[in-house]
């Protein structure tokens, strides 16, 4: 069940900040026309929540599309992330300011640590995270990020952070989709008040080839993409579907006029073949 009726309905973070219930993804969206057009179409289709990252290389284009839309600042939600070479207090502040400048914003709505255990600092994360998190807390206290959080954090990374966090992260953005539900991380994040954002809710496109999902989607007269986004919402996740195609961007917004049965929600939870191959302690970046 979900009470959400449109893209502008919101989850409420543990600090009271409202976050629109579906975000628009921009990973692998090329800077320039592709990013500008896709964000423009997303905003025209009703999205008010855009997810980017410094490493995507498209912050400037995302910022330009948002500015050109003329939508007032308090009516959209922007997330960006600090990448893996950048850790520690000073570097975090500098990278945050670079992202703000790229986006052309005075503040972001959500700032995330992209990965917990970067290759460059591998297995030094308990120490490396502390300076980074202190900087994130200062950015938050100054009002330059309305919320702060993490991405790709497993239970042990969260535990390391909780050792010294004065402010607990508000969000954990992880890969979640049918057949990839990371139950331990989901349980632990929720227990600690973090909202789960579901990245790659379409399995970066791979889930759209699943005959099992197609069979379920047909029952509801929906596409597999719409089914996956709806499933994510019904699971209590915040999905971040990405597309650079105008028709698909629009299609992915039509997810509020049907309800997946509990039997089908469960069948999708148990789906085989969508396991995550990017464990944060082993990724080569």
Ligand X SMILES: NC(=O)c1ccc[n+]([C@@H]2O[C@H](COP(=O)([O-])OP(=O)(O)OC[C@H]3O[C@@H](n4cnc5c(N)ncnc54)[C@H](OP(=O)(O)O)[C@@H]3O)[C@@H](O)[C@H]2O)c1
Cβ contacts of 60 within 8 Å, gap of 6 or more: 31, 102, 103, 104
**List 11, 47, 56, 111, catalytic entry:** 56
Neighbours of 101 (CB within 10 A): 12
Give min distance, CB of 138 to ligand X, in A.
23
Q: Is 248 in the site for ligand X (CB under 6 A)?
A: yes
Residues 92, 117, 223, 234: which binds ligand X (CB under 6 A)?
223
Q: Enumerate the β-bridge partners of residue 12.
A: 18
For ligand X, the closer of residues 28 and 262 by Cβ is 28
Q: Is 252 in the site for ligand X (CB under 6 A)?
A: yes
Neighbours of 271 (CB within 10 A): 19
Integer CA distances (angstroms), 10 to 16, 109, 183, 205, 234, in order: 11, 13, 23, 25, 14
Give min distance, CB of 58 to ligand X, in A.
10
Q: Is 220 in the site for ligand X (CB under 6 A)?
A: no
Tell me if 183 sits within 8 A of 161, measured CB to CB. Answer: no
Q: Enumerate the β-bridge partners of residue 242.
A: 25
For ligand X, the closer of residues 144 and 248 by Cβ is 248
* Mask for 72-101, x = binds ligand X (CB under 6 A): ------------------------------
Q: Is 240 in the site for ligand X (CB under 6 A)?
A: yes
Tokens matching residue 281:
């302690």
Q: Is 195 helix (H, G, I), strand (E, B) or coil?
A: strand
Q: Is 51 in the site for ligand X (CB under 6 A)?
A: yes
Q: Is 204 in the site for ligand X (CB under 6 A)?
A: yes
56 is catalytic: yes
Give min distance, CB of 28 to ligand X, in A.
6
Nearest to 252 by CA among 229, 218, 220: 229
Q: Which stretches of the chain bind ligand X, using CB under 6 A?
A: 25-28, 51, 114, 151-152, 173, 199-205, 208, 223, 225, 240-245, 248, 251-252
Q: Please identify every residue annotated as catalytic.
A: 56
């Amino acid at each position: 069940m979900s009470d959400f009726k449109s893209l502008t309905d919101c989850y409420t973070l543990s600090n009271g900040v409202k976050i629109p219930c579906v975000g628009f993804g921009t990973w692998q969206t090329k800077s320039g026309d592709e990013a500008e057009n896709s964000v423009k179409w997303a905003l025209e289709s009703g999205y008010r929540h855009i997810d980017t990252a410094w490493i995507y290389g498209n912050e400037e284009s995302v910022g330009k599309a948002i500015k050109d839309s003329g939508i007032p600042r308090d009516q959209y939600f922007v997330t960006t992330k600090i990448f893996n070479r950048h850790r520690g207090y000073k570097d975090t502040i500098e990278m945050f300011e670079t992202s703000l400048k790229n986006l052309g914003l005075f503040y972001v709505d959500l700032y995330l640590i992209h990965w917990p255990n970067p290759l460059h600092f591998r297995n030094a994360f308990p120490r490396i995270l502390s300076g980074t998190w202190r900087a994130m807390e200062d950015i938050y206290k100054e009002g330059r990020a309305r919320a702060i959080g993490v991405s790709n954090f497993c239970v042990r990374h969260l535990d390391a952070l909780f050792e010294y966090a004065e402010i607990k992260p508000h969000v954990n953005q992880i890969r979640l989709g049918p057949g990839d539900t990371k139950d331990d991380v989901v349980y632990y994040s929720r227990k600690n008040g973090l909202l789960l954002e579901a990245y790659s809710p379409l399995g970066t496109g791979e889930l759209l080839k699943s005959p099992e999902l197609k069979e379920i989607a047909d029952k509801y007269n929906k596409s597999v993409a719409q089914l996956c986004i709806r499933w994510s919402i019904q699971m209590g996740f915040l999905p971040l579907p990405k597309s650079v195609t105008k028709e698909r961007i629009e299609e992915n917004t039509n997810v509020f006029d049907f309800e997946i049965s509990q039997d089908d929600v469960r069948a999708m939870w148990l789906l085989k073949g969508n396991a995550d191959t990017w464990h944060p302690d082993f990724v080569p970046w």
